[in-house]
Amino acid sequence: MDPFRLCLALGPVAIYLLLLGAINLSRRPFLVTGGRDGAALGLAASGFVLVGPVELFFPDFMAIRLGVLTPFAGPIICVFLLGCYILGMSIVLLLLRPRLVVYNISVDQLRAVLADLVEKLDRDARWAGDSLAMPELGVQLHIEYLPTMRNVSLVSTGPQQSHFGWRRLEVALAAALGEVAVPRNPRGRSLLASGMLIGAMLVAAVALNPQAVAQSLIEMLRL
């Protein structure tokens, strides 16, 4: 793969790894909604979409027809295809059930925070193992834990969910987690090192052959 396509494919991945590494090396938990977490993952994979399906199924016949009207037919079509990818990703994220993801925290620590928080939000809340029902908020969830990355997900269970209730839970949980101190996750160093290594490799590839980068850009945009 030439340097330009390599940068497109691995550049977003490097940024994603650096962000994850910084989050895991923090001494505070980091709360994010399921939609934002999915959007970040989708953006990290966007480079592979550009050098894969977008380039593979690029409509050359349309570029030829538009080329009669404007010399920028290639870039316009690329922006259109990228917009289709973002639109499709947005639709998928909107259809997902509510979910909250807490990075850099153990499941026992989060359960302790939730136990104190739930009493204030809903007096009728009930625990059943790793499942929690809060009827006043209209929230039913269960806890999923990924020990290797030390992050916990609060995933909705059942179709009857109140988005307003989930929003209240998110705001209250974010405030409670702001007062919680946690040890740094050692895996954060590996994530940071991986992101920096990929970034250095991409910079070196571009620096060694800048002409190939320019030529690949012209070919991809059909200029």
Residue 148 in domain: yes
Look up residue 39 and give its two tokens.
Answer: 């959007």
Residue 198 in domain: no
Residue 113 in domain: yes
Residue 161 in domain: yes
Q: Is 82 helix (H, G, I), strand (E, B) or coil?
A: helix
Closest CA to 96 of 161, 3, 48: 161
The strands making up 126-128's β-sheet, listed across from edge to edge, are: 30-33, 99-103, 151-156, 139-146, 131-134, 126-128
Q: What residues form DSSP beta bridges with 151?
A: 103, 146
- CATH number, domain of 115, equals 3.30.310.80
Q: How many domains does the chain have?
A: 1
Residue 177 in domain: yes
Residue 108 in domain: yes
Over its length of 223 residues, how does the chain's per-residue pLDDT go in tens digits? 677 788 888 999 999 999 999 999 999 999 999 999 999 998 898 888 877 766 666 655 555 555 544 555 567 777 777 788 888 888 988 888 899 999 999 898 999 899 888 888 888 889 888 899 998 888 999 999 988 788 999 999 877 888 899 999 999 999 999 888 888 888 889 999 999 999 999 888 888 877 777 777 666 665 5
Residue 118 in domain: yes
Give the contacts of 27 (CB within 8 A, at least 6 positions apart): 181, 182, 183, 184
Task: Please give the residue range of the domain that contains residue 169.
Answer: 98-183
Look up residue 139 and give its two tokens.
Answer: 């929230």
Residue 152 in domain: yes
